[in-house]
Structure formats: structure tokens, C-alpha cells
Amino acid sequence: MDRSSPSPSVVAPSPERDWWLRVLLVLQAPRAVFVALRDDSEDAAGYRSEPVLAILLLAGMAGVLSTGAAGRLMDDQDYDAVLVAIWAFVGGGLYGAAGYWALGGLLHRSLRALGSTGSYRRARHLLAFACVPVALSLAVWPVKLALFHGDVFRSGGSDSGAGGAFFALVEVGFVAWTVALLAIGVRAIQNWTWGRSAAAVAGALVLPVAFALVAGAR
């Protein structure tokens, strides 16, 4: 009689799961994540498409909630919490998609100008994973709402003082983190020097930053 125990089934590694794990890993060990982006095959791009979509939606929501338009939504009496949530979700999707294609295109052109032969798709995926800190900044919003309630969506509310300025600095910190990850990603994928990587990132961001400064001055 064979009394040996049956061998446990071996679970095959899932490439899709690996990419979901890399969404969090990029905050701790970004180089390893960006090196994995060197594989730009159709299969590899397909495996990471859902994580990229999720990052874009969350980062887009964080981005649209930080705009001046969001801070005036409840000046209109027709807006309530439900409508604000719908606005943030729909607007965040559009905002994230626009940034993904436009900023991804600028990054691709900047990389190509400095000698990269990588694809537009890889540049977009690099941008998406670099935006994880911006997506993470959504976690600040429950605290902000607990402190200021609906005033965060009204002009001249209680968030217009020092407390609001503090949260604005926190948002800037998340954006700076994203820019740093973008430079790390370029260096990891291209195996470039820090100077060349920083130049590629600067070339991609100069127009968006100029536009933001002009829009903020109005």
C-alpha cells in the first residue's frame, strides 16, 4: 500500500499578478520594476495593461481633484457629494487618459531626441508606473475631507488657510516623487547617466510646466 502523500499542486506564476505587485513595488524598489519594462513584447504589454489602466484612473482622479475647478464645485448649489464623486471619477478618467497619451508622447519624443530607440508604448507605460505616487495621493483625501468637509469644494472655505496650504505642499511632494521615479525609470530602462536621464525628463515636462504656470497666473 502506497502511503505517500500526494504532491501538492504547483501554482504557476502569473505574469498579470506580478505586474499588479509591481504597482506597489515601484514605491520601494523602482529600478527592478522599470528594468522589467524593457520587455516591450505584445505579451508583456498585455500583462501590464490592467495595472496601467488602474494607475491612470487613480492618478487622473487625484489630478482633477487638485484643480481650481474642483475647489469651486459646490459653489453651484446643484452639486452634492454624489455629483462630486461622479465628477471626480469621470473627470479623472478623462484627465488620466489625456495625460497618458499627451505626456507619454512628449516623453517619447524627448527620449528619441536623446538617442532612445524605445517605443511610444513603452514610454507611456514608464510614465504610468512613475505616476503611482500621484495615484497614492488619493489616500490623503479622506483626511482632508474629515478636517474641512465640503469646504474643499467651495471658494474661500476653511481649507483656504494654513491647513489648505499644508495639503497643497503634500500634493507637490507626491508630484516631485513621481518626477524622481520618472528619472529613475528612464535611467533603468535606457541604462543612461543621471544627467542624460534628467535631460530626457526635463524635455518632456518643460511644455506642461510652462502651461501650468501660465494657467495658474490667470
Q: What is the pLDDT of residue 164?
A: 79
Cell numbers for 79: 452639486
Q: What is the pLDDT of residue 216?
A: 59
pTM of the model: 0.88
Q: What is the pLDDT of residue 218?
A: 56
Q: Which residue has the cell 504547483?
A: 10
| Element containing residue 147 per DSSP (H, E) | helix 141-148
Q: What is the pLDDT of residue 1?
A: 46
| HSE-up (13 A, CA, CB side) for residue 110 | 24
Q: What is the pLDDT of residue 155?
A: 83
Q: What is the pLDDT of residue 57?
A: 96
CB 108, CB 123: distance < 8 Å: yes
| Domain boundaries along the sequence of the chain | 42-217
Residue ranges, the chain, pLDDT below 70: 1-13, 215-218
